[in-house]
């Protein structure tokens, strides 16, 4: 199960509860081969401190050390106490034309060697497979997943479907019904290798749209840092690859923007421990074995550094900005990003927070299709206003929203707006922007107290009663119970509401958070970080607070906080 901490687009900072403790996501499972250790595993664990190691059960089973690993178990053999994930070897079976295999035997072998996360032998689907072939492989893969007795292990559910979007959807729906713990979308490596990123993102997002929201999603075989941020933005939590090692053996130097050949490098464009302690010239003069080890370490530093950069970007709400930097590394990436925003922007917007810690930065024409812009254009239609200002890429914006997110926290083309809203304009218009048309109907005879430091509106009163405050960082209105009652009175159920069970109401009235299992219903248009009204089934106000999940997630999670209560 997952616990979401922060998010941006479909990307999420989450804690994954596993048999080996909590794992921070997104992350990459570092692939190791016990038979061939370019970086000795003990050294890798000590230097890079991975959360997850991945190894291939097919390779182990066919190796001379198989019996030794069976006897000791993977964790002792690898001297690693973290999460160990084993692949079934599906790609090796089909790339090498091996036919003498038993799917049940492969699962039992993974259990025998002590893997924490086990993978059934799915039928690898190639992009040029016919639809009939793909359908047969899909059915057989689901049959094999269904037959697995996972015991106390975590089970992977491979999702294939090839280039056929309807089969990708069907595969996702079928696998979701099984007792799996990780969704793994496969068949993506050939698309990456051929830079067919437009096909890749479409195959990914149609499957992602069907999957449950409470489990990790793994991009099988994707291990190049240039695609991590885009795939995280589209909902992936996990990656894996031995690319750091394979590239090193071929004198390839990974960067977040692509791959360089060592022979073409004059200066090492990196400050990792490897690149800080040697030069390109010195690397070229090393013997092949030493050079490969140095390049593998550099590649791994780059891969893990990009994962950390992505996690930080999600934490501060700047993942879209990072993606827009990364996709400019290759025209096919930029094309894929723009395409997916245009075609699937509505789905992405469902998961994107209504407010973020960092500003919206216009980074190019594709910025016009970002979820913040789509949502803002829709919500300003709810606002009654007489004065407006022009703000790209949002268009004509009510003046009262000048300092409200994302309008007041954005940098883009256009002139500075000199007109200033009155404080009453600000309060009324932001309430309608947040809570809907007519939501400010009962906010009459306003008295607004300014910040003594900035002079901006802060505390809002009606007839001497405090009803809420303007939040400094995003200009949003945060109602207290009195303010929430006025908003509830002006809007119809289920607008802005989270409806809870009667037995949970006493706890929420005492200020306890609202958990998903106590939610009866909610506004279907609920978005993460939206200010909401918590009501009982008779629409009596119980509390106000911040929704941590969207409507789909509230229904999809079994254990998670739905609303962090603010006033009760």
- Sorting pLDDT into bands at 50, 70 and 90, what band is 66? confident
Residue 362 lies in a domain: no
Residue 47 lies in a domain: yes
CATH number of the domain where residue 307 is located: 3.20.20.105
With 0.75 as the threshold, say if the pTM is over it.
Answer: yes
Q: Long-range CB contacts (< 8 A, 24+ apart) of 387-393?
A: 387/419, 387/421, 387/425, 389/417, 389/419, 390/414, 390/417, 391/417, 392/362, 393/362, 393/367, 393/368
State residue 58's pLDDT score: 82
Angle at 273 between CA 326 and CA 83, to 5 degrees: 75
DSSP-assigned states of every residue in 96-109: TT-----HHHHHHH
Residue 55 lies in a domain: yes
Residue 466 lies in a domain: yes
State residue 61's pLDDT score: 83
For the chain, the domain total comes to: 3
pLDDT digits (tens, 9 = 90+) for 206-257: 999 999 999 999 999 899 999 999 999 999 999 998 899 999 999 999 999 9
Q: What is the mean pLDDT of residues 89-95?
A: 67
Residues forming the active site: 87
β-strand partners of 12: 7
CATH number of the domain where residue 415 is located: 3.10.450.90
Angle at 566 between CA 318 and CA 505, to 5 degrees: 125
DSSP-assigned states of every residue in 167-204: HHHHHHHHHHTSS-SEEEE-S-HHHHHTT-HHHHHHHH
Average pLDDT, the chain: 94
Burial class (CB within 10 angstroms; exposed 0-12, middle 13-18, buried 19+) of 265:
middle
pLDDT digits (tens, 9 = 90+) for 67-76: 888 899 999 9
Q: What is the mean pLDDT of residues 530-534?
A: 98
Handedness of CA 223, 227, 233, 234 (dihedral sign): negative
pLDDT digits (tens, 9 = 90+) for 375-405: 999 999 999 999 999 999 999 999 999 999 9
Take residue 318 and report the two structure tokens written for it: 């700047």
* Residues 272 and 386 placed together within one structural domain of the fold: no
* Residues 286 and 144 placed together within one structural domain of the fold: yes
* Residues 184 and 291 placed together within one structural domain of the fold: yes
* Residues 96 and 208 placed together within one structural domain of the fold: yes
Give percent of the chain with pLDDT exceeding 70: 98
pLDDT digits (tens, 9 = 90+) for 312-336: 999 999 999 999 999 999 999 999 9
Residues 127/187, Cβ–Cβ less than 8 Å: yes
Residue 293 lies in a domain: yes
pLDDT digits (tens, 9 = 90+) for 245-303: 999 999 999 999 999 999 999 999 999 999 999 999 999 999 999 999 999 999 999 99
* Residues 68 and 136 placed together within one structural domain of the fold: yes
State residue 57's pLDDT score: 87
Could you tell me the residue range of the domain that residue 459 belongs to?
Answer: 373-479
* Residues 130 and 259 placed together within one structural domain of the fold: yes
Residue 355 lies in a domain: no
pLDDT digits (tens, 9 = 90+) for 456-477: 999 999 999 999 999 999 999 9
CATH number of the domain where residue 517 is located: 2.30.130.10
Residue 484 lies in a domain: no
For residue 90, pLDDT beyond 90:
no
């Amino acid at each position: 199960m997952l616990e979401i901490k922060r998010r941006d687009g479909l990307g999420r900072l989450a804690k994954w509860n596993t048999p080996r403790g909590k794992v921070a996501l997104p992350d990459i499972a570092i692939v190791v081969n016990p038979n061939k250790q370019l970086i000795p595993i003990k050294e890798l664990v000590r230097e890079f401190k991975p959360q997850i190691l991945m190894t291939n059960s097919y390779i182990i089973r066919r190796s001379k050390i198989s019996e030794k690993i069976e006897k000791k178990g993977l964790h002792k053999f690898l001297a690693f106490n973290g999460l160990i994930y084993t692949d079934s070897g599906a790609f090796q079976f089909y790339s090498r034309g091996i036919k003498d295999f038993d799917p049940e035997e492969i699962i039992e072998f993974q259990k025998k060697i002590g893997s924490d996360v086990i993978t059934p032998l799915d039928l690898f689907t190639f992009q040029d497979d016919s639809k009939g072939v793909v359908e047969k492989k899909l059915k057989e893969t689901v049959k094999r997943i269904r037959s697995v007795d996972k015991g106390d292990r975590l089970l992977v559910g491979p999702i294939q479907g090839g280039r056929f979007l309807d089969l990708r959807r069907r595969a996702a729906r079928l696998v979701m019904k099984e007792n799996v713990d990780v969704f793994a979308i496969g068949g993506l490596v050939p698309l990456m290798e051929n830079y067919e990123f437009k096909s890749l993102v479409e195959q990914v997002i149609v499957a992602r749209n069907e999957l449950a929201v409470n489990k990790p999603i793994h991009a099988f075989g994707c291990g190049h840092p240039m695609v991590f941020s885009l795939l995280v933005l589209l909902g992936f939590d996990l990656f894996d690859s031995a690319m750091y090692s394979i590239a090193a053996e071929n004198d390839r130097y990974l960067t977040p923007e692509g791959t360089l050949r060592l022979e073409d490098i004059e200066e090492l464009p990196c400050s990792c421990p490897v690149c800080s302690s040697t030069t390109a010239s010195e690397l070229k003069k090393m013997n092949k074995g030493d050079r490969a080890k140095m390049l593998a370490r550099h590649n791994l530093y780059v891969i893990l550094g990009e994962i950390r950069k992505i996690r930080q970007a999600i934490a501060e709400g700047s993942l879209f900005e990072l993606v827009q930097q990364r996709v400019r590394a290759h025209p096919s990436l930029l094309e894929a990003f723009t395409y997916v925003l245009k075609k699937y922007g509505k789905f992405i917007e469902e998961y994107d927070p209504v407010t973020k810690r960092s500003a919206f930065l216009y980074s190019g024409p594709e910025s016009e299709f970002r979820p913040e812009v789509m949502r803002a254009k829709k919500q300003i239609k709810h606002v009654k206003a007489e004065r407006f200002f022009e703000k790209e890429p949002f268009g004509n914006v009510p003046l009262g929203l000048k300092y409200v997110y994302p309008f007041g926290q954005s940098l883009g083309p256009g002139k500075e707006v000199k007109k200033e809203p009155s404080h009453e304009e600000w309060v009324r218009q932001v309430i309608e922007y947040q809570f809907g048309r007519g939501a400010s109907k009962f906010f009459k005879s306003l008295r607004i107290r300014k910040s003594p430091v900035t002079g901006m509106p802060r505390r809002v009163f009606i007839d001497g009663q405090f009803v809420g405050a303007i939040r400094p960082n995003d200009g949003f209105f945060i109602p207290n119970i009195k303010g929430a009652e006025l908003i509830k009175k002006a809007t119809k159920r289920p607008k802005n509401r989270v409806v809870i069970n009667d037995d949970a109401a006493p706890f929420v009235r005492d200020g306890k958070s609202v958990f998903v299992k106590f939610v009866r219903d909610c506004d279907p248009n609920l978005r993460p970080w939206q200010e909401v009204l918590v009501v009982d089934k008779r629409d009596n106000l119980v509390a106000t607070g911040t929704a941590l999940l969207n409507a789909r997630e509230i229904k999809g999670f079994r254990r998670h906080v739905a609303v962090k209560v603010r006033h009760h």
